[in-house]
Amino acid sequence: MVFASLEFLTLFLPIFFLCYLLTPQRWRNLTLLIGSWVFFTWWTPKYLILLIGLTSLAFGAALAIEHCRSSVWRTRIMALAIILNVMCLCWYKYANMLARSLLDILHYQGAAGFAWESVVLPIGLSFTVLHAISYLVDVRRGVVRAQTNFIAFSAYMAMFGHLIAGPIVRYKIIDKELRERKFIAHDFAMGVRRFMVGFSVKVLIADILSPLVAQIFSSAQPSFVDAWVGCIAYTLQLYFDFAGYSSMAIGLGLMLGFYFQENFNHPYLATSIQDFWRRWHMTLSGWLRDYLYIALGGSRHGRWFTYRNLMLTMAIGGLWHGGESWNFLIWGIIHGSALCIERMCVERGLSLPDFASRCLTLLVVMLAWTVFRADGFSAACSMWAGQAGLHAWAMSDALTLSLRPEIWWAAGLGLVCAIYPATVWARTGVPGFRSAWWRNLWPVLSFFYALAVLSGQSSRPFLYFQF
């Protein structure tokens, strides 16, 4: 069950909100927890025990940290709990990749292989571990008090609005709302609006571009035009898929009385890679900065240690995204290298005009998305070769036949949505569309149109579910 599915929109969500609104205030965390566990078990019932186990580990470790008088032992308890979380994540996320790599090495050397049964990654495990780590570290640092109510803490860890693909919600952000929150009609209405907008861009842009992206990235030797059409399409698909999910999650949070952080701020208008990471998946980039980069030493120990920490942070961040391929590690190294190069240029007083800087940043981001999306490093190299014009130049017949009118509309709408914030109209308002009634009506119209489109096709999981 995904947010952009008829079973979620017409079955789970109405029943859940009916139960939630009828529940007395003091018991709403329990209703939220039960609803979240039902949502989780709809996907993979057998992994509910794992979720409860990790939740219990973080809950108990935080209480032990807070009640322990020895600073050394507080750190040891935190470290042990974090290590157990990371070990669990590594097993489910990287066991398959490491086993396949070892089998490839044995095959290359002519040695006998071994039988391996693939390990299935439970949904939401990556974000569950990140939430647990940030909570434990914040308790150890004294930023928050350890939660003493297991139901409230479990509701935070399992909250279906952000459990699967973020945004990453730190405990300190919603600590107050977990203890006391009220139903506010205006916030509920704003949450519904955010949810409808996110659903619309997911279905009407990301999902329509999905078959085109899959076709081009499965091509053995894409031409120059094919490769760049595929790269642009995936750049738009990934943004509107993930930003759409984040908008739906933020909307659900508002409907429940929680105020989640924004996760995107027009990232494709960034003037540098550093600026890109201030705008893209902002809750993840903030997490990497506060709990990894700073923990490694940040920029406190000189230039070369700073470069090292940047590379390690981005490499680990890239590896976190997936365990099916080493491509994600390469993607992280590309971004880490770009951050180091930018820092060197700034130190030497080198800069580009604003427009050129934006174009160069977008080019680096798109070339990195190529390896992020490709099925293996050889496929990424083939796409890069196509983007360099090493295969052919003209659009292939297969792509020509695939570019149906709705794909052109989706791509055009996506580009307008991505570029519009930089235009004069974004600051002054589009003539004819400034009235409040239109601003309130268009999300409803787009939502029902997207719902009609969805009813005629199977729902597609959000791209970030696999991470």
Q: Which residues are catalytic?
A: 321
On whether the CB atoms of residues 68 and 74 are closer than 8 A, the answer is yes
**Peptide bond just before 167 cis, omega within 30 deg:** yes
The residue to which tokens 């940030």 are assigned: 134
SS3 273: helix
Q: What is the pTM of this model?
A: 0.89
User: Quick one: average pLDDT of 50-56?
Assistant: 94
SS3 354: helix
SS3 244: helix
Tell whether the model's pLDDT for residue 365 goes beyond 60.
yes
On whether the CB atoms of residues 411 and 233 are closer than 8 A, the answer is yes
pLDDT confidence band for 423 (50 / 70 / 90): low
Percent of the chain with pLDDT over 90: 52
Spell out the alpha helix ranges (H) of 171-302.
171-179, 185-201, 207-217, 224-256, 273-279, 282-288, 294-296
- Summarised one tens digit per residue, pLDDT across range 427-449 is 555 555 555 665 667 778 788 87
On whether the CB atoms of residues 259 and 173 are closer than 8 A, the answer is yes
Which amino acid makes up residue 108? Y
405 CB-near residues (< 8 Å, 6+ apart)? none
SS3 393: coil
Report d(CA 232, CA 370) in Å as an integer.
Answer: 10
Report the range of poorest mean pLDDT among 307-311, 312-316, 458-462. Answer: 458-462
On whether the CB atoms of residues 268 and 421 are closer than 8 A, the answer is no
pLDDT confidence band for 462 (50 / 70 / 90): low
Spell out the alpha helix ranges (H) of 297-353.
303-320, 327-347
The residue to which tokens 């705008």 are assigned: 279
CA angle 60, 61, 67 (to 5 degrees): 90
pLDDT confidence band for 452 (50 / 70 / 90): confident
Report d(CA 86, CA 140) in Å as an integer.
Answer: 18
User: Quick one: average pLDDT of 123-144?
Assistant: 92
Tell whether the model's pLDDT for residue 41 goes beyond 70.
yes
On whether the CB atoms of residues 251 and 194 are closer than 8 A, the answer is yes
